[in-house]
Structure formats: C-alpha cells, structure tokens
Amino acid sequence: MSEHEHNPFPDEGNTGHIWDDNLRELANPAPNWWMMAFYASIAFVIGYGLIYPMIPLSDSYTKGLTGWTAIGEYKASTAEVEAVRKPFEDKIAKMSAKEILADPELSAYVEASGKVIFGDNCAACHGAGGSGNPGFPVLADDDWLYGGTIEQIQTTITNGRQGMMPKMGGQQLTDAEIDKLANAIYNGTVTKEPLYTSKGCMGCHGPDGKGMAALGSANLTDGIWRFSESDQLASIKHTIKHGVNDASDPETRKPKMPAFKDKLSEQDIKKMAVYVYKFGGGK
C-alpha cells in the first residue's frame, strides 16, 4: 500500500510493484526482434486465413480465396496417377498373362506396380521378393513344385495348392527302409534305390525322381529341399514317415497355398502371375 508513495528505486522504470523490500517488477519493453516476430506471426495467420480454409462454422467453414482443400489435392493427385495407370490397366485387362510377359513395356509396368500386391498378399508367407520362409517355398528360383510356366503359376495363385503324400511310416515302411530311402534321397541317388520303385514312391515322384507338376511332388534329386531343416536327413525321414497333409497323422506336414480367386481380382492375379514368373519362371 505504501510502495507507491515511497518507491526506493525511482529511476529504474519499475512498475511500482515491490515485495519484500527489494523484489520488484520492471516495465522493460520487449526486444525489437521479438515484437517483429510477434507482428509477423499475426500477419501470417491473417494471410493464411484469407488463402486457406481456416475457421469452422456451424455447418461449413471459411473456404479461403483459393478454395484449396487437402482432400481435393489428394483426389487430384490420385486422379493423376490413375490417368497414368489407366492405359496400362486397360491393356492388361484384355491380354493373357503370357501376352503381358511378351510385352516389355507392360511387364515392366507389372513388375513395378505388382510389388505392393505381393507385399500385401504373399510376402508374409513367401518372404520379401519371394525369398521363401521355413515351410514356404522360395518363389525366386527356377525350382517349381507345381510347374513354372506362366499358366501353371496363374493356376496355382487362382486355385491354391495343397500337396498330398500319404504317411509311409508304420505299415508301409520299416524304420530301416525309411533310413535307406532317406539316405538315398539325401545323396541324390534315390532312383537307384530298389525301394523307390517297389514301395510306390515312383508313382508320384516320377521315374526320374524329379517330381510331377500336376501333383506338386517335390524333386528328390536336386538337393533343393521343400522342407528344409538344419538336420536335413532327419527332415527327409520325417516327411517319409508322416507324409504331407495326411489327416490320419498328427505329425504330418501341413503346407497350404491359399486360393486367391475370391481375394484378388482376376486382373491382380494376372499381375501376380507375371510378377512371380519374373522372379524365375520358365520351366
């Protein structure tokens, strides 16, 4: 109450608010640079509000002089992309996968645009770039279970695949016979093993042991393992003993390639066939 009358610091420009004898509030102006930034930011807000949409109203908003909107810009740029893609997509729709492959421009387009479809639908099982995962076949090689022509690949993706091999342990083969067959397969000499013919392996894996695309029966002679494990000999024995997708054996292997005919459009399946073929198709 008495500070105003008895300002002990009269010449320093304080506001006259003094506490505890000497704690006082000064009336210094803000620095120039600060004031300029302050006015500039006000000018910016006004300018921004004139140009861009800004203030929400009860059922609308201030639109700004340019009429720009984020969603409008998004739509315009998607339309631009669509316009670039459309001629390609239209051509692809009328062509078979094989014809697309034969056209360098279109197959380059599919290679670029198929990456996202592959990433969203296939990479979880087959690995990025088709590099494979334990239990899921590598697509980026020229070793095919179900055949590597463009038509075969397209059929695989459309309808899915599920290899079947009956379990051979128990009544079919003794453990000693399984050992013999497994070692012969491991060493790449299975077709010379008499059990291969007498126990019916040949019927599915073929006289040359190279498998049959119609059945997806693996090539047993090339050292590329469909079911690969750190102890490969044990893995081979396991497959022979318990089979593949044999519902009567709980330890059977259970690979399943899902059908995509209800999940992807025909157009996208075609693209995926071309995309996968370019990894290493042909045979």
> Interface residues with ligand HEC (CB under 6 A)?
121-122, 124-126, 136-137, 139, 144-146, 153, 156-157, 161-166, 168, 181, 185, 199-201, 203-205, 215-218, 220, 225-227, 236, 239-240, 244, 255-258, 260, 272, 276
- SS3 of residue 133 by DSSP: strand
Q: Which is nearer to ligand HEC, 18 or 178 (CB)?
A: 178
Minimal distance, residue 170 CB to ligand HEC, in Å: 12
186-192: list long-range contacts, CB under 8 Å, 24+ apart: 186/232, 186/233, 186/236, 188/221, 188/222, 188/223, 190/220, 190/221, 191/221
> Cβ 60 to ligand HEC, closest distance in Å?
45
Helices (H), the chain: 32-51, 70-94, 97-102, 104-121, 123-126, 150-159, 175-186, 194-198, 201-205, 232-242, 266-280
CB of 104 to ligand HEC, least distance (A): 22
Closest approach, Cβ 67 to ligand HEC, in A, equals: 42
Nearer to ligand HEC, 53 or 166 (CB): 166
* Closest CB to ligand HEC among residues 54, 215: 215
Residue nearest to ligand HEC (CB): 163
Q: Smaller CB distance to ligand HEC: residue 95 or 125?
A: 125
Strands 23-26 and 14-19: antiparallel
**Shortest distance (Å) from residue 144 CB to ligand HEC:** 4
Write the burial class of residue 37 (CB in 10 Å: 0-12 exposed, 13-18 middle, 19+ buried): exposed
Query: Is the CB of 106 or the CB of 239 nearer to ligand HEC?
Result: 239
